[in-house]
Amino acid sequence: MKTVLISAPYMLPEMKRFRPVLEAFDLDLITPTVHERLSEEEILVHAGAFDGVICGDDRFTRRVIEACLPRLKVISKWGTGIDSIDRAAANELGVAVCNTPNAFTVPVSESVIGYMLVFSRHLTRLDAEVKSGAWEKIVGRTLAESTMGVVGVGHVGKAVIRRARGFGMKILGNDIIEIEPDFLLEYGVEMTDLDDLLSRADYISINCDLNPSSYHLINAETLSLCKPEAVIINTARGPIVEESALISALQRNALRGAALDVFEIEPLPSDSPLRHMEQVMLAPHNSNSSPLFWERVHWNTIRNLLEGLAIDAGRLDAFKEKYGA
C-alpha cells in the first residue's frame, strides 16, 4: 500500500467523497490540518511517510524534497502555479511535478474585469455614499475610454484581453515571449516594453508567472513610471509586486488605487497598511473561485497523482461518474 499526503486546502473539505476514490486505488491517506498552505517545517513532520502528495502552495523546497526521499515519487499540484515547488531539485532528484495548466483562466479573468468595472464606475464608493445618507453624483469613466496594460499574455492574459476588447478598451501587452500575431491582430493588442506599458495604461493587470525574472517586477522604479490615475490589479502571484513599494506609492497618491487578490505573505498580515486604504480592494487569494472549475482540477489532480505513482488510472472515469459533483 502506498501513502499519499493530501494538503490542498480546496480538496480537503471534499474528502468525504474523494477518500473512497483514493482508497479504491489502495492508497493510505494523511490529511493534516492546513491553514492556507504547509510550511517547510509542517511538511517535514511527515517526511519519509508518503509516496505522493496532492498539495496547494506548500513549500516543497530542496530541503523538503530531499527529506521526503526515497519514498516521494510525485508532487501533484492542485491548480496551475508551481512556484512554491523547487522544480529544479525535483527534476534532479527524480520526483515528478504535475499541475493543471489553464485551470482557472475563466474565473480569474472575470475577476480582473470586475475590478476594472468597480474602479471605473465607482460602484463600491457610490454604494457606501448612498447608504450613509449622501446623494453625491460621482463622475465615472467607461472602460471604452481607458487603456489596459496586460503584463503576461498567457492563458489568463489572453482571456482578460478577449473580455476587455468587448468593452472597447485600448489594449497594451507585454511578455518575454513572442505572442501569436493572429491573436494580436484579432484583438487589436499593441505589444510594447514594460516601461511604455506602465506609463500609458490606466489599468495594469498582472497575469505573468512568478519566476526569478518576474520577482518584484513591479517595484519602486517601475511604479514611478505609472500615471497617477493608474490602478494596479494583481491576480497572479503576490511577490511579483513589491508590496512595500506599492504601499508607498498609494500613500503618496502616486497611484489611483490597487486591486489585490494575492500578497507577498498570505494570509495578509493584520498590521498591513493595505487593510486600511480606501483606494484598495482586497481579496483572500480567491479569484479562482468557481465550483465548476474546482471540480475539473480535483479530478485532474488525482489522475496526475495516480500516473505519477505508476498506478493505472483507467478506472478513474467510473469513479468520477459516481462521486463527481
Residue 26 burial (10 A CB sphere; 0-12, 13-18, 19+): exposed
Coil, strand or helix at 126: helix
Both ends of the chain: CA-CA distance in Å? 28
Gap between the Cα atoms of 252 and 239, Å rounded: 21
3-state DSSP helix/strand/coil % of the chain, to nearest 5: 40, 15, 45
Please name the amino acid found at residue 34: V
Indicate the helix (H) or strand (E) that contains 234.
strand 231-234
Gap between the Cα atoms of 209 and 236, Å rounded: 7
Q: In what order do the strands lie in the sheet with 74-77?
A: 27-30, 2-6, 52-55, 74-77, 96-98
Gap between the Cα atoms of 61 and 36, Å rounded: 17
Tell which phi-psi region holds residue 114, choosing left (phi > 0), alpha (psi between -120 and 50) or beta: alpha
Coil, strand or helix at 109: helix
Gap between the Cα atoms of 203 and 120, Å rounded: 10
- C-beta of residue 292 within 8 angstroms of C-beta of residue 105: no
Verify whether residue 66 is a known catalytic residue: no
Gap between the Cα atoms of 159 and 278, Å rounded: 28
Active-site option among 37, 59, 237, 298:
237
Long-range pairs, 47-50, Cβ under 8 A, ≥24: 49/3, 49/5, 50/3, 50/4, 50/5
Active-site option among 36, 266, 275, 315:
266
Residue 277: DSSP 8-state: -
Verify whether residue 145 is a known catalytic residue: no
Active-site option among 59, 155, 285, 298:
285
Verify whether residue 237 is a known catalytic residue: yes
Residues tagged active-site:
237, 266, 285
